[in-house]
Amino acid sequence: MAQQAYMTQTDNGSSGPEPRTSRLRRLLDRLSRGWRGDRRIWRRGMVLAVVAALLALVMLTHSHIPNAIGNLGSLIETFLPWLGLLIPVLLLLALLRRSATALIATVLPVAVWLNLFGGLLTDKTAAGGDLTVATHNVNADNPDPSRTARDVAASGADVLALEELKATEVPTYETALAGTYEYHAVVGTVGLWSKYPLSDVKAVDIRLGWKRAMRATVTAPAGQVAVYVAHLPSVRVKLEAGFTARQRDKSADALGEAIAAEPLRNVVLLGDLNGTMNDRALTAVTSQMRSTQGAVGSGFGFSWPASFPMARIDQILVKGAEPESSWTLPATASDHLPIAARVKVTTPNG
């Protein structure tokens, strides 16, 4: 009897299993007839339609959301791509409500999200480049700094930046990286390891009172590159204060001023900026530099937290140099993922 329930009469009188496409077509036909016979499909779901329009408006005008109250604008911009998760929820609710109005309204946030992030869904990696760079916040409480150093060195990076270096662990990193990198310099809690000579090494004042940023000239085969390493202050989300990022914002402004005054044509910034490229608080830096991930990466390249990456707060930015490819490296013992990029050093007239 159970078998007969799935049998249908064919044209020649014989019976056989009903094709799945036929069952699916009948289901869609029933749904379509239900919608056609329901004159309320345009009146239902008005609240859902309004929510969809508001979602599109938030994404479209995120840069105008004020930071006056708890840095709300920066908080939204940090996790802006994740607002897209609300879209399938709205679509499902619109279908359940049988609301044509809500379905049509959902097109708005879809269009805005694709305009903002659609380019990140394609692989823009290109062959080429003459300098591979990498950066990693190693975490001051890293339980295995030696292995972490070996893991990031295995990436093949010509230039490697490390942030959140604990003073007592610096010798461990130096020993673990000595076989791969002939040159290195450490300034405060940040360091730079290079296969090519370093010169003009100095701290960069990012208005903190202690050293968390540096600059060095890397003399690579293709030419000189000014490499900046920075670890901007952390941000916190607190119920009573919102998104606390004032110190981070001041440091970003100072870093932007230093990069703007850089005399070398090719500039690379490596580090943990504690902010995404969408965050208007980093405009002093991002307005004059390009993100390697946005230009030549594949996907969003989220780097934090390593256990479930939700935001790309670790950055590789370039000015003058041309990005060719960008990728995220495997997890280490740190709470951040290391990231890497390959860039092309441009000539003065290039």
Give the Cα separation of 273 and 32 in Å (integer): 51
The answer to whether position 56 is within a domain reads yes
**Could you give the 3-state DSSP secondary structure of residue 49?**
helix
The answer to whether position 28 is within a domain reads no
CB within 8 Å of 179: residues ≥ 6 apart = none
CB within 8 Å of 291: residues ≥ 6 apart = 277, 315, 316, 317
For residue 70, what is the DSSP state?
A: T
Residue with tokens 């799935």: 6
The burial class, CB within 10 Å (0-12 / 13-18 / 19+), for 145 is buried
**78 in the same domain as 156:** no
**Signed CA dihedral, 285, 291, 295, 300: sign only:** negative
Contact call for residues 90 and 102 (beta carbons, < 8 A): yes
Tens place of pLDDT per residue across the chain (350 aa): 444 444 444 444 445 555 666 765 665 565 555 555 566 788 889 999 999 999 999 999 999 998 877 778 888 999 999 999 999 999 999 999 889 999 999 999 999 999 999 988 888 877 889 999 999 999 999 999 999 999 999 999 999 999 999 999 999 999 999 999 999 999 999 999 999 999 999 999 999 989 999 999 999 999 999 999 999 998 766 544 445 578 899 999 999 999 999 999 999 999 999 999 999 999 999 999 999 998 898 899 999 999 999 999 999 999 999 999 999 999 999 999 999 999 999 876 45
The CATH number of residue 335's host domain is 3.60.10.10
Q: Domain total for the chain?
A: 2
**268 in the same domain as 177:** yes
Contact call for residues 62 and 81 (beta carbons, < 8 A): no
The answer to whether position 32 is within a domain reads no
Give the Cα separation of 325 and 343 in Å (integer): 7
**205 in the same domain as 71:** no
**Could you give the 3-state DSSP secondary structure of residue 122?**
coil
The β-bridge partners of 341 are 133, 326
**135 in the same domain as 57:** no
Give the Cα separation of 323 and 320 in Å (integer): 9
Q: Which two tokens stand for residue 271?
A: 């580090």
Tell me how far CA of residue 333 lies from CA of 58, 239, 281, in angstroms. Answer: 36, 30, 29
Give the Cα separation of 210 and 214 in Å (integer): 12
Q: What is the extent of the structural domain holding 76?
A: 38-121
Tell me how far CA of residue 90 lies from CA of 36, 47, 200, in angstroms. Answer: 21, 11, 55
